Structure 1
Amino acid sequence: MNPESSTAPTPQRPAEDEPPGSAPAKVVAASMIGTTLEFYDFIVYGTVAALVFNRQFFPAAAPGVGTLLALSTFAVGFLARPLGAALFGHLGDRIGRKRTLMLTLVIMGGATVAIGVLPPYAAIGYWAPLLLVVLRVLQGAAVGGEWGGAVLLIGEHTAKGRRGWATSFAQLGSPLGLLLSNGVVLGTVALAGSDRFASWAWRIPFLLSFVLIVIGVVLRRTVEESPVFQQMQVRQGTAKSPVAEVLRRHWARLLLAIGVTVVSFGGYYVFTTVGLAYVSLKKIPSSYGLYGTVIGAALTVPVILGSGALSDRVGRRPLYAVSAVLMAGWAFAFFPLLDTGSAVPVVLSFAAGIVAWSVLYGAQGAFLSELFPSRVRYTGASIAYQVTGALGGLVPLLSLSLLQSLGTTVAISVFVALTAVVTLVALRLAPETYRLADEGEGA
């Protein structure tokens, strides 16, 4: 079936109505601070959960069980993301991008700060893990609505021909959040010491999220609503039920958007979380993997910006295709390099894998949002991104299960290659969007 047959084509927006030039600097900054906070909160939680949450919130369980329970709360956040995408996507397409982004920022950051002051199991018993899960769900739901709004706020302030470059700044939240979270956690451990960190100093990285909230709120209060959303309100009104409209009229584009994004999360979590777990299992110094991820994150900053800019010239699909092929190929070199146990090959393995992923990531914000018309764009792009994000949260479990059952890392590499095939097939079916007028109604 032709994917286009499920949607009702409407005229593209006249070129003269497009936003003039690029998004204002304050719009870019307001969006970027939100995505940085998003990744900072998620990565800090995952790191601290692995290190100390078993003792703070699950001390009644056996040590191994406590760690498993602590990490399961990390997974809960991933499961909440698609629900948040639907909820905040609905609000973003109904009441506006700016107001919804203010809401997601406050909820996301507020939940993170609340975790930082949450009493441990020793103080309030079973209420401690229960409240932790509730806060984690709130955090995950807010994250589900943050990315789509941040990308749209920039993209809908920017004219055709510059949207890839402009929205790539929102994508910088991933490497910046990774660098910031790792820096804060490592700095806190260094200053407080391992014992004090496990006892109380683990709260500091969560509490520091308050600083990002304040900066984000100040910046977002000063920006104007997306001109595309304002004009849509005047011309055609907002969708009454954006989620239902996406599922009814744009289901094919939603499936394609999910398909093209599959390799992004499949490869990313193998080259980061799975790789770090494998290094630990092989008794290789964990610092090698951490250095590799930090170096890789730093290198992705120019790659993401360059990829976004290049996608405005050659299209979004070629960048996706190149990245998918690179990740599939590198997956078969990744584990043999780790098996050497030597510092340079291990660091190179992590860094190169993350850089291969970033080629795709720079074009992702523009591509996913352009696949949907403006009246349901927040909803469509957010659901597509967060559904694959939730599936990505299962990649470490699947990968380690394959390793345990088959006894070889080749199975994990084949898995990454299969996600690349899914993305390449979806790319073949998906339209190229970079030449569409801002309304994005080629969908």
Structure 2
Amino acid sequence: MEPESFSSNSYKAIVSQFTGFLLDAYDLTMILGIAPVIAKVLLPPASPLIATFSVILSYSLTIIFRPLGSAIFGHLGDKIGRKGDLIITILGLGIASALTSTLPTYAAVGILAFILFIIIRIAVGIFAGGEYAAGHPFAMEWTPFKWRGLISGIIQGGFSFGAALAAVVEAAFIGFFGVKALDAYAWRYLFLTSLVPAVIALIIRITMKETPVFEDVRANKLIRKSPFLDLFRKPYRRDFFQVMLYMTGLFFSAYALFAFVPAILEHSPSIYGLGTADTIYSYGTYAAFAGAVTIGALSQIIGRRKITIIWAIITAIISIPIYYLLIYSATIGSIALSTLAVIIIGFITQAPWGIVPIYLSERFKASMRASGVGFGYSSGIFIGGWFSIYVPLMHQYLFKSLDTPTNVWFSTAVLLILGALLVGVGVYLGPETLGTRLTEEVEKSKVIPH
């Protein structure tokens, strides 16, 4: 049974997943936005770029451990239900993120400070991987058919909204406390703010009902013995590997914004200080939200597959020119041009993500959907999650003459081009999913009449 109209549970499911995804991005963006501060506090003295790359590498570890969380909590979501799974994941994600504020400094305990930081990042990654494994299906299974594209974009836009919120909060902290106080102690308060969205999401999830789609799975005795392992058995494994290729490209494209735009703005020849760079970057995250919502809504009209292929072609063409505009404007100190460049980058890098919650939900049967959505989403990390290594390697060995010695603008543009190509090929190899039923029915039509 699929909902025909919005109910209170539909709204709760949407707000719940939007807030949970917001928290994920909020945590990650804080790490990247104040990477120079974290490097000073938790690492021995080094060149600013090397220190920042060290923090970005720890950020990658957060990403790389997500598949483990998706496997664990995706399996649970298909066995015990989406709701119980989501209560566990938001508790873990909120507590692990807030624990960052309790870390000792390098001055106090040496390199142990950074080791403890990495352990916390791994825990965050595991719970975040579980967050969307059950969360995306939960929200989509509560959404009426004709609104799925728009709601998919809004939910996925929660990540961009969380990134924007983190950038605004960071800028406010810098403005209120100052950079010196942020280095000394205020960074701890910054990480404690992650408890706010975690508590909101937890309260909502406690009051939610299980989705009618999963209740049908349970009532019809369709719960699988090993939903996660079934992803790698015929006839589902081809679907899984197609999704993996698609998601690999999406991770390349996403972190061409989240990981490297702050680094480009904060390092010479850019002349911006940390506060100005954070403010400019925040506009890109607003545009990212708009991109996800726009493409999600259009996919309900044009189709998930077609709109993604169009995006891939356009993005591959404009990547280098738009990143050149970014570094040029940052070099001459044109805030208006830098903001324009970041807005365009934010929109194009995050737009195709607006389709992800519904596209992945439509690619997997209800009885294995949490496993398929979660691990399919996270599978892009196996190759795509090492962006923090690829860009420095391209910078050092391939494009150093096109980059500058202290900036990676051209290498980041190439990362985005590779992402667009992989996404385009990945979605081309799969079917159009618009119209697919989310309820698992035996030997019945899977297409909703239009």
Q: 1:408 to 1:90 in 2, by over 3 A?
A: same
How far off its partner does 1:137 sit?
Answer: 0.9
CA contact (8 A) 1:371 1:440 kept: no
How much has 1:128 moved relative to structure 2?
3.2
Q: 1:351 to 1:392 in 2, by over 3 A?
A: farther
The answer to whether 1:436 aligns with 2:420 is no
Partner of 2:402: 408
Residue number in structure 1 paired with 2:82: 97
- Check conservation: 1:176, 1:297, Cα contact below 8 A: yes
8 Å contact kept, 1:160–1:436: no
CA distance in structure 1 between the partners assigned to 2:173 and 2:143 by the alignment: 40
CA distance, structure 2, for counterparts of residue 57 and residue 411 of structure 1: 27
Match of 1:44 in 2: 30
Q: Take 2:347 and 2:51, find their aligned partners in 1: how far apart are those partners?
A: 34
Correspondence 1:207 to 2:201: no
Aligned residue number for residue 201 of structure 2: 216
| Equivalent runs, 1:43-442 vs 2, <5 Å | 43-48=29-34, 50-59=35-44, 62=46, 68-124=53-109, 127-249=112-234, 250-279=236-265, 280-285=267-272, 290-341=278-329, 342=332, 343=334, 344-389=336-381, 391-406=383-398, 407-408=401-402, 413-439=413-439
Residues 272/75 of structure 1: CA separation in 2 closer, same or farther (3 Å cut): closer
**Structure 2: gaps spanning 5 or more residues:** 404-409
1:110 partner letter? I
Residues 98 and 194 in structure 2, CA contact (< 8 A), matched pair in contact too: yes
Letter in 1 for 2:338: V
Measured in 1, the distance between the counterparts of 2:214 and 2:416 equals 38
Deviates more, 1:32-41 or 1:50-59: 50-59
Deviates most, 137-146 or 69-78:
69-78
* Post-superposition offset of 1:412: 5.2
Query: Contact 2:286 / 2:346 at 8 angstroms: preserved in 1?
Result: no
Q: Distance in 2 between matches of 1:291 and 1:242?
A: 44
1:28 maps onto 2:22 in alignment: no
Identity %: 26
Q: CA deviation at 1:292?
A: 4.1
Higher mean alpha-carbon deviation, 341-350 vs 143-152, is at: 341-350
Which range is displaced more, 115-124 or 359-368?
115-124
AA partner of residue 188 (structure 1): F
Aligned residues: 425
Q: 1:413: Cα distance to partner?
A: 4.0
Name the residue aligned to 2:2. 18
Matches of 2:36 and 2:176, distance apart in 1: 17
CA distance in 1, matches of 2:148, 2:309: 19
Report if aligned partners of 1:32, 1:150 keep a CA contact under 8 Å in 2: no
Distance 1:62 1:347, change over 3 A: closer
Kept after mapping to 1: 8 A contact 2:251/2:380: yes
CA distance in 1, matches of 2:283, 2:56: 25
For the Cα contact (< 8 Å) 2:280–2:338, is it kept in 1? yes
Give me the whole-angstrom Cα distance separating, in 1, the residues matched to 2:289 and 2:412. Answer: 27
8 Å contact 2:13–2:139 — kept in the other structure? yes
Contact 1:96 1:225 in 2 (8 A): yes
Match of 1:7 in 2: none
More deviation, 67-76/317-326: 67-76
AA aligned to 1:283 is S
**Counterpart for residue 406 of structure 2:** none
How big is the shift at 1:76?
1.6
Change in Cα spacing, 1:246 to 1:204, as seen in structure 2 (3 Å) is same
Residues 319 and 293 of structure 1, relative CA distance in 2, 3 Å threshold: farther
Q: Distance in 2 between matches of 1:403 and 1:137?
A: 27
Tell me, yes or no, if the aligned pair for 1:160 and 1:438 is still in contact at 8 Å: no
Alpha-carbon deviation of 1:122? 4.1
Cα–Cα, structure 1 residues 91 and 126, in superposed 2: closer, same or farther, change >3 Å? Answer: same
Amino acid at match of 1:112: S
Judged with a 3 Å threshold, the aligned counterparts in structure 2 of structure 1 residues 155 and 395 are, in CA distance, closer, same or farther, namely same
**CA gap 1:276/1:194 in 2 versus in 1, 3 angstroms:** closer
2: distance between equivalents of 1:216 and 1:412? 34
8 Å CA contact 1:40, 1:178 repeated in 2: yes
Coordinate RMSD, CA, aligned: 2.5
Provide, for residues 172-219 of structure 1, a one-character-per-residue CA deviation record: whole Å limited to 9, x for no partner.
Answer: 212211111111111112111211111110011211111222111111
Distance 2:107 2:23 in 1: 30
State the 1:318 CA deviation: 1.9
Indicate the larger mover: 143-152 or 161-170: 161-170
Structure 1 residue 126: Cα displacement: 5.3
Deviations 1:220-247, CA, capped at 9 Å, x for gaps = 1111111111110111332222221111
